[in-house]
Structure 1
């Protein structure tokens, strides 16, 4: 019986610690950066091309417009991904867009809310791409999970930007006639 009390005591401490972690570190903020060997206008066009999103966003399936004009401030879309064999839908809202410079979006899902900004800067024929992200879990359990897996979320963004770099550098599509 004495061992059972110790086991329950340890479990209670672990559970309390788990929830305290979510209270102490309720949001995850990170920045990622990559430089691509293509000019800014092409890098921007590739990043905004829905046909190429599956090439650089892991699990991307499709985008369905919900409201607004695609590619403009206030546009709302549902973005579908496959994650561990399950379909996941994330609601995307464009908060700000400056073509060939930056796009800021908010993403909402059952698990978390995310503010995301992708910025591009010309560097003598190359393009520096920077992403800034702040993610907050929805609810105590997801906040605590976010605190524990924050580094893996950043690692996924590093992977996405590395894939975007590869997609841009391997691009053969001519965007000059169909600017995004």
Structure 2
């Protein structure tokens, strides 16, 4: 009987801790970066091409243009991904900043979270391009914030993994063949 009592006390403390985290910890940040052996304009073009997302974004399922034109500030689109349980989840993005070959920034949201992403592309001067990705986000409630707290290192690893897949895609292929133009 004492075991059951202590078991429920421990479970209660864990749940209260998660609720407290969900209330007080609401802002999260994820960063990832990588250097790719290719010119800046080619890295940017591959990164910014929705037709190539399936080759480097984990669990990517689709892209849907909602409003505006590609690379036009304020344009909106929806990305679709599969979750660990095999369900489809979406994230809506609105282009907030765009400087060709240098910067792409989105505001994004779905049923679980909202935030901003900023990706910068820097020519290192030695034939490589450095990508820096930063995401600032918050959950849409106490439960979501608690889950984001528990998953934050997994989220960081996921973004880094995607950049590593992008690096492989570019370096193992002919980037000029992957380039996307909006002409």
Provide the TM-score with structure 1 as the length reference. 0.91
2 CA distance for matches of 1:166 and 1:76? 28
Checking the alignment, whether the CA contact within 8 Å between 1:115 and 1:135 is kept in structure 2 is yes
Q: Is the counterpart of residue 134 in structure 1 residue 142 in structure 2? A: no
Measure, in 2, the Cα distance between the counterparts of 1:140 and 1:15: 12
Q: Match of 2:145?
A: 143
Q: Which whole-Å CA distance do the structure 2 matches of 1:176 and 1:51 have between them? A: 10
Label 1:170 to 1:176 Cα distance change in 2 as closer, same or farther (>3 A): closer
1:74-153 alignment to 2 at 5 Å? 74-84=74-84, 85-124=86-125, 125-153=127-155
Structure 2 residue runs without a partner (length 5+)? none
| Contact 2:45/2:179 (8 A) holds in 1 | no
Runs of at least 5 residues in structure 1 that lack an aligned partner in the other structure: none
Matched with 1:163 is 165
Deviations 1:22-73 (A, max 9, x none): 2332222132110000000111111111221111101112211111112211
Aligned residues: 180
Q: Describe how 1:21-32 pairs up with structure 2 within 5 A.
A: 21-32=21-32
Shift of the 7–173 alpha-carbon distance from structure 1 to 2, 3 Å rule, reads: closer
Deviations 1:74-124 (A, max 9, x none): 011111112221111111111111110000002211111131111101112
RMSD (CA atoms): 2.0
